Amino acid sequence: MKKLAVVAFGGNALLQAGQEGTIGEQEKNAYEASKNLLNLLNRNYNIVITHGNGPQVGNILLSEQAGFKVHGMPEMPLDVCVAYSQGFIGYMIEQQLRNVLEANDLDRDIICIITQVLVNKDDPAFENPTKPIGPYLSKEEADKGAKETGSVYKEDKKRGGWRKVVASPRPLVISNKKSIEQLARSGQIVIAVGGGGIPAYYVEPNKLEGIDAVIDKDLASSLLAKQIGAEKLFILTDVPKVCLNFDTPQEESIDKMTIAEARKYLQEGQFTEGSMAPKIRAAVDFVENTGKDAIITKTTLLGVDDGGTRIVIV
């Protein structure tokens, strides 16, 4: 029987630092990222792909704001912008992955599922927005945006710039998880929970409604992996392995990390909140609840022996 893996593409799989963000660039990046999935297919894995959307949903919001200023067009709420990004990013991944499969004489259906994720409207995250979206701005641009729209911006001192931050509530339930699992275990490649999923809550019994937030993609991917019984969770980023003392002369890469060690390093502040910390928490959550391994690595090392950092139960 084939194993089931959830593969969480990082934002750099589609849009890399220094790029303009054109569709051509994103399609090329999606093609290169998709080629690395062949390692897992050749290792007898069925695959569910998740992906980030931070830069893309931020650009959608900028376009919405410009359309409102120039033409008076009504702005879309954030949950609709997330749905919008799921559609076009899923389309790009599906198309480029199909190109990769056909170039390697492989035949799989690729199915993109627009995915809602249930959250708690009283989650404390709504009182303290922390999830960065959109481009990096100067302080002057951030101050102007805050004044004009009431948005909250925070400085990323490491990368040099200010980004809009929004609430990031904890995901509770992945919609259509049974169908996602059935399709994937039958051999189809499924793209789901894009951008962490479309945040929704029950405004009253039996009535779902979207809410203004962005769910952390890695935490939602971990939840999906648990709820569909995946044998492995791969969280992809832009470094080969998790490092202690990152970007210092004492930097040390880690081959294997227990969940106890991971919690210790998190408490010590080894991992930044805007980058590696959410990935570590997501990996720990999956491993602790399933007893199975999670791997954090860069896209090019997906499925490679000894590639990445393996998070284990003990």
| Catalytic residue (one of 177, 217, 241, 298) | 217
Active site residue 232: no
Question: From the candidates 10, 11, 58, 303, which is the catalytic residue?
Answer: 11
Closest by CA to 281, choosing from 270, 120, 123, is: 270
Q: Give the SS3 label for residue 20.
A: coil
Among residues 166, 170, 188, the alpha carbon closest in space to that of 179 is found at 188
- Say which of 164, 226, 241, 279 is annotated catalytic: 279
| Among 35, 131, 226, 232, the one annotated catalytic | 131
Any catalytic annotation for residue 269?
no
Q: What is the DSSP string of 98-146?
A: HHHHHHTT----EEE---EEE--TT-GGGGS--EEEEEEE-HHHHHHHH
Annotation marks residue 217 as catalytic: yes
The span from the CA of 258 to the CA of 288, in Å, is 10
Q: The sheet that has 161-166: what strands, in order across it?
A: 131-137, 161-166, 152-156
* Token pair 């959608």: residue: 60
**Alpha-carbon gap, residue 221 to 192, rounded angstroms:** 9
Q: Is 11 tagged catalytic? A: yes
Residue that the structure tokens 């991971």 belong to: 262
The contacts of residue 17 (CB under 8 Å, 6+ apart) are: none
Of the candidates 150, 135, 125, 280, the one whose C-alpha atom is nearest the C-alpha of residue 214 is 125
Is position 256 annotated as part of the catalytic site? no
Question: What residues act catalytically?
Answer: 11-12, 131, 217, 279
